[in-house]
Chain A
Amino acid sequence: GAVVSQHPSRVICKSGTSVKIECRSLDFQATTMFWYRQFPKQSLMLMATSNEGSKATYEQGVEKDKFLINHASLTLSTLTVTSAHPEDSSFYICSATNRDSDHEQYFGPGTRLTVT
């Protein structure tokens, strides 16, 4: 089956630093990848849609200069949290759609970011 990985699985950083999270589709080509954020005991909130070779589309209220998204290839998208602050601490999840087949979105295992 289609597998999506994320790296790292958890990261702790100091306030003011930047953190990069990778999302990879391991066995399929993903035309589109999505980035979500999830706070404790809440649902997933869509942050942005990432299309290979083009600029990401951000949801209303999500700062594009703070959350930099790059989708350089059909198997890799990255999310960089710039100048992180404690309020950015959250669970970040990516998903990908398989361009060659079905209508399923495949989700990664998530990345736990803690900003101290």
Chain B
Amino acid sequence: QLQLQESGPGLVKPSETLSLTCTVSGGAISRNSYSWGWIRQPPGIGLEWIGSVYYGGSTNYNPSLKSRVTISVDTSKNQFSLKLSSVTAADTAVYYCARIDTSGYYWYFDLWGRGTLVTVSS
């Protein structure tokens, strides 16, 4: 049974770079039918897609975050990662990693990690 688990610092200082890793267990990240994404949810607010990566390394980013986001994949470790630069308090959120089924015309998030809270504060 495939599982996703986020890891990384829970506290980041303003202006620094937020770095998170998602480890995929129970299955290979190198599958053609899926991409791997990051979603965030500020406290008490809704979900925001940050971006996605295919196992070959191609990426798609939310236009509103594109200038600050880098998502990469390491197939040897079965992991993918998020870097968000120049963070402010507005980037405080629960960050989720998820698998995205891209096998058809309609894409959807079929598996989610449990999420990790990242607080931006000095």
Partners in one complex: no
